[in-house]
Amino acid sequence: MNSKEYQNILNICKENETQLVAVSKTKPNKDILELYQEGQRVFGENRVQELVQKHEQLPKDIKWHFIGHLQKNKVKYIASFVQLIHAVDSLSLLKEINKKAIQNNRTIKCLIQFHIAKEDSKFGLQVEDIDIFFPKTKEFKNVEIIGLMGMATFTNNEKQVNNEFKLLKNLFNKIKENYFKEQVSFKEISMGMSGDYKIAIQNGSTMVRVGSAIFGTR
């Protein structure tokens, strides 16, 4: 764990009122505990089984975010404790999250993932889906949609990354105006990772998901 780099990133986040999600996937509990000792409480994981184990073994005041692609049949394993699901991109997944939230007598916060990258291997809604998707989310009373999430293209082309984050910010503004105007909690834009979190913050990110810059390469 790179304590100095962690404090550096944390300071940048604090100055910009951005939340730092420490992405601890593949990293052992001892690494997570080291960061916990520095005060970090929000951690992100992208595998259900790994998340469930870490939740069981680590301090109970850790806020666990699920940041990866979530399969419907696995929602049940994390529904009782997950703090935020970052990458919802279908109504059927949202419906399942709602169902498991009801069974656990709670509301589960979610972000809707948009496809903003040039690469076609990534998940997420397209711009054209907006007016079909969002009107239908209102029936899921135990799901609280608090914003959007996106991943930029994996490239050194900063201008391209900048444009992709700008696109997500614009989509956020439009969706807020059209579908969440009355909902104060719809305010999050989860964008930015180790390689591009600074560009993301410049474009209005409220949550960065940073792994390797803090924990070292995986």
Site for ligand PLP, rule CB under 6 A: 23, 25, 46, 67-68, 193-195, 209-213
- Residue 162 CB partners (closer than 8 Å, separation 6+): 199, 202, 203
What is the rounded CA–CA span in Å between residue 215 and residue 78? 24
Residue that the structure tokens 């910010």 belong to? 169
Amino acid symbol at 5? E
Our CB check for ligand PLP shows the closer of 25 and 76 to be 25
Shortest gap between Cβ of 192 and ligand PLP (angstroms)?
A: 8
What is the rounded CA–CA span in Å between residue 70 and residue 171? 23
Our CB check for ligand PLP shows the closer of 98 and 190 to be 190
Q: HSE, CB side, 13 Å, CA atoms: give it for residue 72.
A: 10
Our CB check for ligand PLP shows the closer of 67 and 146 to be 67
Shortest gap between Cβ of 31 and ligand PLP (angstroms)?
A: 13
What is the rounded CA–CA span in Å between residue 216 and residue 207? 20
Shortest gap between Cβ of 102 and ligand PLP (angstroms)?
A: 27
Our CB check for ligand PLP shows the closer of 82 and 179 to be 82
Shortest gap between Cβ of 116 and ligand PLP (angstroms)?
A: 13
